[in-house]
Amino acid sequence: MAFLEVEDLHAGYGPVEVLHGISFEVEEGQTVALLGANGAGKTTTLRCIHGMVKPRGRVALGGEEICGRGTDKIVAMGVAHVPEGRGTFPTLSVDENLRLGAYARKNGGNLESTMRRVFDLFPRLEERRTQQAGTLSGGEQQMLAIGRALMLKPRLMLLDEPSLGLAPVVTREMFGALRRIRDEEGLTMFVVEQNANLVLEFAHAAYVMETGTIALSGDAESVKNDENMRKAYLGY
Amino acid sequence: MERFLETIIDGIAVGSIYGALALALVLIYRSTGIVNFAQGEMAMFATFIAWALTEAGIPIGLAVLITIAFALVAGMIIERVLIRPVEGGQELTLVVVTLGLFIFINGMATWIWGPQNRGFPRLLPNDRISVLGLDTTWEAVLLVVVLLGVAGVLFLIFNKTKIGLAMRAAAANPDASRIVGVPVGRMLMLGWGLAAAVGAIAGVLIAPRLFLDVNLMGAVMIYAFASATLGGFDSAFGAIVGGWIIGIAEAIAGGYIDFIGQDLKILVPLIIILTVLLVRPQGLFGSPAVARV
């Protein structure tokens, strides 16, 4: 049994169905990428897992059905979400942003030690600790969003287009940090990306979406070498 | 000169009550973006509860504590039942809902307690004391202390506790708050509950100075609105300072400007509201609305 199981997921906004029954799974400790063009339904899929869109179908985390539960319940089960466009609190300080990440944390544990770990991964956040998040650069805000997600001590981290709008050097730095988190903590990750080249280097397995269905799936290597995939997304 | 300073002290004392009500308005405005026109009636109803409890033989101190707890719960219920369904809707809808609530609570209170005046027991001692050589009352001093105490408690809740941080987050950015697992709805409920509790404190403080009846808060709310407008609707600090300024202006105008006197002093807050809206719409300490270009 996989850690995250999604089966026959349907969802939409009003009368428009965006997901037409997709299924996929993520093994514990694995990083799985979800690829696809704009409007394929990637973000909607993430929002379904996180309870922000109410889907039909089955979503199970560690064997427990979570489909239909509220976001606060799902977060409390250890599912952290780094949303598209960061979604930080611009008027609150970096420190407060991070503390909010631990709001729903069940294993009370030591908040300070988790924060030390975040500052160890992203030293620049420590320098800016008392600054308003709105004054941070785009790259720093993305790091803050990831750091905030880590404050939950999550079992599963959902990332929505983490490279969006970042300079290549910042993107590399960020994926370096994500790699460290995965290697040192064995955190399970589910990453939505448009930058297929980048994420296929990083993920173990990948699913490719096309207008609300899964068009292709497999381990990262095979997806990367798939003829149609290369033509459609990688451009060679 | 002495009489003038004593007038100012009296103004600050009454202004502290206006400040407390303005603080309640600011609490709701900051968390839900609504100007709660029913704030005064909620406070009036709570004051009647306190009165009914004292009539039943409960000591005034305990009665007030029970009333504050009642107001906290009632405020949360009002948010959940009446405000939540229209939350995020058009401003006009929200205004009409709070106006409806105003009429409903006023009608309920008239139905339960009738339209007549009642005396409300004094919560604070009214003995005369001398502060820095000026003649005043214990009540005046304690009103200021109570307001600062309420403001201090709110400051600690919002800045030093996890739930206060979550409330600020829910007000500033509801979507991001949901993502980190903050139950936004419950935070807004709590905001209304706190505002109702602060309003109840203002109600039991002002009732002994006036007579308790269902229109207790009618005029007082105009002063509170003036205080919040002057201080800035999104500034807690502004609400307090605004309350004091309005209180002082009222006392001076009533005592020193002959043609205003006691009868026309209701004009003072109205003129201040008008002037602030014309000259500095965001108030003294509010943040101006910034439109993206």
Structure ipTM? 0.86
Contacts of B169 in chain A (CB under 8 A): 89, 92, 96, 100
- Does A81 contact B175 at a Cβ distance shorter than 8 Å? no
pLDDT for B92 equals 87
Contact A104 B180 (CB under 8 A): yes
Q: SS3 for B129?
A: strand
Report CB contact under 8 Å: B172, A152: no
The model's pLDDT over B99-123, given as tens digits with 9 standing for 90+, comes to: 999 999 999 999 999 888 888 888 7
Closest chain A residue to B166 measured between Cα atoms?
A: A100
C-alpha of A6 from chain center: 15
Could you tell me which residue, B264 or A213, shows the higher pLDDT? A213
* Contact with chain A for residue B168, Cβ under 8 A: yes
Q: From A50, which residue of chain B is nearest by alpha-carbon distance?
A: B179
How many Å lie between the alpha carbon of B183 and the closest alpha carbon of chain A? Answer: 6
pLDDT recorded at residue B66: 96
Which chain A residue has its CA at the smallest distance from B162's CA? A103
Sketch out chain B's domains with CATH numbers: 2-279 (1.10.3470)
Residue in B165, B179, B182 closest to A96 by CB? B165
Of B172, B179, B182, the CB nearest to A83: B179
Q: Are A90 and B162 inside 8 Å of each other by CB? A: no
Binned at pLDDT 50, 70 and 90, residue B42 comes out as very high
Residues near B68 by beta carbon (within 8 Å), at least 6 away in sequence:
B46, B197, B200, B201
Closest CA to B246 of B268, B275, B278: B268
* pLDDT for residue B148: 92
Pair of tokens at residue B271? 């003129």
Please give the pLDDT value at position B240: 93
- Six token digits for residue A105: 């944390």
Which of A102-116, B69-83, B219-233, B241-255 is predicted least confidently? A102-116
3-state secondary structure of B153: helix
User: What letter does residue B135 receive in the DSSP assignment?
Assistant: E
Query: What residues pair up with A208 in beta bridges, in sequence order?
Result: A35, A216
Rounded to whole angstroms, how far apart are CA atoms B1 and B7? 10
The pLDDT tens digits for B180-234 are: 999 999 999 999 999 999 999 999 998 888 888 888 888 899 999 999 999 998 8
Asked if A75 and B162 come within 8 Å (Cβ–Cβ), the reply is: no
Fill in the DSSP letter of residue B289. Answer: P
| CA–CA dist B236, B242 (Å, integer) | 10
- Name residues 172-191 of chain B within 8 A of A (Cβ): 172-173, 175-183
Instruction: Specify the 3-state DSSP secondary structure of B151.
Output: helix
What integer is the mean pLDDT of A162-185?
91
Residues B109-165 have pLDDT tens digits of 999 998 888 888 887 777 787 777 777 888 888 889 999 999 999 999 999 999 999
Contacts of B24 (CB under 8 A, 6+ apart): B36, B39, B43, B195, B196, B198, B199, B202, B224
Residue of B nearest to A92 (CA): B169
Q: What is the pLDDT of residue B292?
A: 43
Q: List pLDDT tens digits, range B219-242.
A: 899 999 999 999 998 888 999 999
Instruction: Please report the pLDDT score of residue B38 as a whole number.
Output: 94
pLDDT at residue A108 is higher than 70: no
Long-range contacts of A123-131 (CB under 8 A, 24+ apart): A125/A94, A125/A98, A128/A94, A129/A93, A129/A94, A129/A95, A130/A93, A130/A94, A130/A95, A131/A93, A131/A94
- B159: which chain A residues are within 8 Å (Cβ-Cβ)? none
Q: What is the pTM of this model?
A: 0.85
Name the residue among B278, B272, B279 with its Cα closest to residue B18: B272
Q: Tell me if A92 and B168 make a contact (CB, 8 A cut-off).
A: yes
Specify the higher pLDDT residue, B135 or A193. A193
Residue predicted with more confidence, B14 or B132:
B14
Mutate one of A72, A105, A142, A152 to test the B interface: name it (highest B CB count within 10 A): A72
A vs B, Cβ pairs < 8 A, gives 59
Query: Does the distance separating the beta carbons of A92 and B169 come in below 8 Å?
Result: yes
Spatial distance between the Cα atoms of A98 and A149, rounded to a whole number of angstroms: 8
Q: How far apart are CA A169 and CA B159, in angstroms?
A: 37
| Minimal CA separation from A76 to chain B, in Å | 7
- Cβ distance A90 to B168 less than 8 Å, yes or no, reads no
Q: Give the mean model confidence (pLDDT) for residues A163-187.
A: 91
Residue B7 has what pLDDT? 87
Instruction: Tell me if A87 and B181 make a contact (CB, 8 A cut-off).
Output: no
Chain B environment of A145 (Cβ under 8 Å): none
pLDDT digits 0-9 by tens, A50-94: 988 888 889 999 888 888 888 999 999 999 999 988 789 998 999
Rounded mean pLDDT of chain B?
Answer: 89
DSSP element (H, E) containing B105:
helix B91-113
Q: Which of B162, B176, B183 sits opposite A89 (nearest CB)?
A: B176
List C-alpha distances in Å: B117 to B45, B161, B203, B216: 14, 42, 15, 9
- CB-CB under 8 Å, A91 with B182: no
Straight-line distance from the first to the last Cα atom of chain A, in angstroms, rounded to the nearest whole number = 36
pLDDT at B293 over 50: no
Which residues in chain B have their CB less than 8 angstroms from residue A92's CB?
165, 168-169, 172
Residue in chain A closest to B160 (alpha carbons) equals A96
Preferred mutation among B180, B184, B186 to probe A, highest tally of A CBs within 10 A: B180
With CB atoms and an 8 Å threshold, state whether B183 touches A52: no
Min Cα–Cα distance to chain A from B286, Å:
15
| pLDDT-wise least confident of B15-24, B169-178, B221-230 | B169-178
Inter-chain contact B181–A71, Cβ cutoff 8 Å? yes
Contact call for B179 and A76, based on CB within 8 A: no
Q: How far is A208 from chain B (nearest CA, A)?
A: 25
Q: Answer whether A100 sits within 8 Å of B172, measured CB to CB.
A: no
